[in-house]
């Protein structure tokens, strides 16, 4: 399974203080004191100057051609990637739609011109304006206009997924101020993140949506201006995208050496084991392996031994996605932190990692794992200064001790921890009677782990048994992926497994993950239902940070409170990607620091593909 990081989704995880290529003028500067720039970044620096030829992590001479085929688990219900309704096709947003500006994946948060060739920020920070590239075209040949950009913003906020309303809520209006210029005016206040969030705006065709209903699920591929168009759609099962050979943006510096495949195909499988076997039968060519057991034990197959299939571990310097068991705090069962702490005690990570994962993972103990933002050491004086106003409102450990989940010896014997869990549960008002954990009315604690595939059952099974030893009726329910998404979007679950994708510069998306105002907004990412004024205040400190040291301090302070509040049971991580592929591709010498770069930087090698077809291993790279 491969996930292209679409610009639309990247922007929503790019919590960032925006400055133009140089530091922004002080707030007292006149709004008219602006300079058009080719890119924007957080806290001041851009690696690439105006007129740069290409990104450093691409081969600008990479040949075009061939097909990359990959997989995903589950199904899809719509080709419209911008709605709450239905599960969208995974690659549609990134392949079909251009955005105003696009990420450089070797910088923490820099964005450079795509549909917009330049950007201006008011000296007082009250607005941001984008000037469009006159060459920008939709894939039917019609020009991209300022009217299209304003329409895109208005439509996404009014009819799109709630995430758009979350990140753009402080935009007062979008207005066309010239034939190729759109200005976004902000509501009163300081809006550090908004300009960079708007730079990732996906551009829709106003003319197209004048005849097509925007807010309906559909298997018809929408009109975009991106590098690919959908050539073949098998509803729920497969999509083949074909490269737009006359793509208007193919020669821009941000795109040279990128999007080299003539076709990209993604196949959906209901079962991971079937998908695994399909890979070795040649049904598709590239897979990222997410199952540690499979990576450790199941790749000793003839195609690998004979050199037809290559395996690689690609490093990733971005914060690892935080994978956790999410408690639904809207349920009375989980409102007491002692109950949540008891569940943490019952999860034997060390045994799980040794027995099921072959020791391939590290325990997650932070919401910002694998980054400088993780609060793994004792709090600094600057952190304590931020936290001091909340003393008495947060666990005292926040001020003294880095969070760390309970540790076992890996033997599977956690009786002492279970006794500790029982003590916490009793303190929370539960009673252990006749092998059952019951409340004051005699009702047994019952919880359901909601899943959309069976693979995770082998991990939950031992956890389930430990919970049953505590007298908890712990059940597992598996539903199809569409039903799972609906129940997740509407918070109809007890416990689910989820990943929170953090960025190198957290910001406004933290409200969506942890902010009180989004605790009950359908489709929001505050899945736990956290409604905590201390968390809200610390998110405010993250958003107000004016430099990276201040941001790190605020993020670590927030991290300590989130972890010690026990809103989740942390799982595991690794700072790399295990991938396998039939050896018919080449890739640049330099990998982008903060992305896999497979779809957009690799290319097809017909000579190697012919050797693979003949059953011969291509020469070593």
The first and second tokens of residue 35, run together, are 């300079």
Residues 6+ positions from 473 with CB-CB distance below 8 Å: 436, 444, 445, 446, 447
- Given this model, what pLDDT does residue 4 score? 40
Among the ranges given (13-22, 221-230, 253-262, 295-304), the one the predictor scored with the smallest mean pLDDT:
13-22
- Given this model, what pLDDT does residue 124 score? 87
Mean pLDDT, to the nearest integer, of 433-457? 93
List pLDDT tens digits, range 219-271: 999 999 999 999 999 999 999 999 999 999 999 999 999 999 999 999 999 88
Q: DSSP alpha helices (H): ranges in 264-348?
A: 272-280, 292-297, 302-305, 337-346
- Given this model, what pLDDT does residue 6 score? 35
Cα dihedral 255→256→259→262 (10° resolution): 130
- Given this model, what pLDDT does residue 44 score? 67
Of 268, 270, 235, residue with least CA distance to 452: 270
Strands (DSSP E) along 300-355, which ranges? 309-315, 322-327
List pLDDT tens digits, range 471-521: 999 999 999 988 999 999 999 999 999 988 888 888 888 999 999 999 999
Residues 219, 75, 482, CA angle at the centre, nearest 5°?
Answer: 95
Q: Are 98 and 493 in contact (CB under 8 A)?
A: no
Predicted TM-score of the model (pTM): 0.82
List pLDDT tens digits, range 180-197: 999 999 999 877 778 888
Of 239, 236, 241, 237, residue with least CA distance to 224: 241
Mean pLDDT, to the nearest integer, of 451-470? 93
Q: How many CB atoms are located within 10 Å of the residue 273 CB?
A: 13
Mean pLDDT, to the nearest integer, of 62-78? 96
Among the ranges given (1-5, 113-117, 204-208, 509-513), the one the predictor scored with the smallest mean pLDDT:
1-5
Handedness of CA 209, 174, 99, 289 (dihedral sign): negative
Provide, rounded to the nearest whole percent, the portion of the chain with pLDDT above 70: 94
Give the domains, in start order, of the chain with CATH numbers. 7-62+82-210 (3.40.190.10), 228-318+577-613 (3.40.190.10), 322-573 (3.10.105.10)
Q: How far apart are CA 106 and CA 103, in angstroms?
A: 9
Q: How many CB atoms are located within 10 Å of the residue 589 CB?
A: 7
Give me the chain's average pLDDT, please: 91
- Given this model, what pLDDT does residue 17 score? 32
């Amino acid at each position: 399974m491969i996930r292209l990081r679409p610009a639309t989704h990247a922007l929503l995880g790019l919590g960032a203080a925006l400055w133009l290529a140089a530091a922004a003028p002080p707030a007292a500067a006149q709004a008219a004191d602006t300079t058009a720039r080719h890119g924007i970044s957080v806290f001041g620096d851009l690696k690439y100057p105006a007129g740069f030829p290409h990104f450093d992590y691409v081969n600008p001479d990479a040949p075009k051609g061939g097909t990359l085929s990959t997989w995903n688990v589950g199904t899809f219900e719509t080709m419209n990637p911008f709605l709450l309704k239905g599960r969208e096709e995974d690659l549609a947003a990134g392949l079909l739609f251009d955005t105003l500006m696009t990420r450089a994946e070797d910088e923490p948060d820099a964005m450079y011109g795509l549909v917009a060739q330049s950007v201006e920020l008011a000296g007082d920070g009250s607005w941001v304006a984008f000037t469009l590239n006159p060459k920008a075209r939709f894939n039917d040949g019609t020009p991209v206009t300022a009217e299209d950009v304003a329409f895109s913003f208005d439509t996404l906020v009014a009819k799109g997924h709630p995430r758009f309303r979350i990140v753009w809520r402080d935009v007062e209006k979008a207005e066309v101020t010239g034939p190729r210029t759109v200005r976004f005016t902000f509501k009163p206040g300081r809006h550090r993140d908004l300009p960079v969030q708007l730079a990732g705006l996906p551009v829709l065709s106003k003319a197209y949506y004048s005849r097509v209903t925007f807010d309906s699920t559909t298997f018809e591929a929408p009109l975009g201006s991106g590098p690919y168009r959908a050539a073949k759609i098998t509803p729920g099962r497969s999509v083949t995208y074909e490269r737009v050979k006359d793509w208007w943006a193919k020669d821009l510096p941000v795109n040279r050496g990128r999007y080299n495949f003539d076709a990209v195909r993604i196949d959906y499988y209901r079962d991971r084991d079937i998908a695994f076997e399909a890979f070795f039968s040649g049904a598709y060519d590239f897979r990222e392996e997410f199952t540690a057991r499979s990576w450790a034990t199941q790749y000793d197959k003839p195609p690998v031994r004979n050199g037809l299939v290559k395996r690689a571990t690609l490093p990733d310097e971005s914060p690892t996605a935080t994978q956790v068991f999410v408690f639904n705090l809207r349920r009375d069962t989980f409102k007491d932190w002692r109950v949540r702490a008891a569940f943490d005690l019952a999860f034997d990570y060390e045994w799980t990692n040794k027995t099921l994962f072959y020791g391939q993972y590290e325990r997650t103990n932070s919401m910002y794992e694998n980054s400088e933002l993780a609060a793994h050491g004792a709090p600094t004086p600057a952190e304590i200064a931020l936290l001091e106003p909340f003393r008495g409102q947060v666990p005292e450990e926040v001020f003294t001790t880095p969070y760390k989940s309970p540790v076992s010896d890996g033997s599977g014997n956690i009786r002492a921890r279970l006794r500790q869990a029982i003590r916490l549960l009793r303190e929370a008002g539960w009673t252990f009677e006749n092998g059952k954990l019951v409340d004051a009315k005699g009702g047994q604690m019952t919880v359901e782990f909601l899943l959309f595939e069976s693979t995770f059952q082998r991990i939950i099974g031992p956890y389930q048994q430990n919970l049953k030893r505590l007298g908890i009726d712990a059940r597992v329910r598996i539903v199809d992926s569409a039903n799972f998404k609906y129940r997740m979007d509407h918070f109809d679950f007890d416990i689910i497994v989820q990943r929170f994708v953090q960025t190198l510069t957290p910001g406004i998306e933290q409200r969506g993950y942890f902010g009180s105002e989004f605790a009950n907004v359908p489709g929001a990412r505050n899945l736990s239902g956290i409604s905590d004024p201390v968390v809200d205040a610390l998110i405010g400190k993250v958003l107000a940070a004016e430099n990276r040291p201040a941001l790190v301090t605020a993020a670590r302070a927030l991290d300590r409170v989130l972890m010690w509040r026990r809103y989740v049971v942390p799982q595991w991580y690794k700072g790399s990607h295990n991938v396998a592929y039939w050896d018919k591709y080449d890739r640049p010498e330099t990998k982008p620091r903060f992305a896999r770069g497979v779809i957009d930087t690799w290319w097809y090698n017909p000579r190697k593909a012919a050797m693979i077809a003949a059953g011969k291993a291509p020469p070593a790279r």
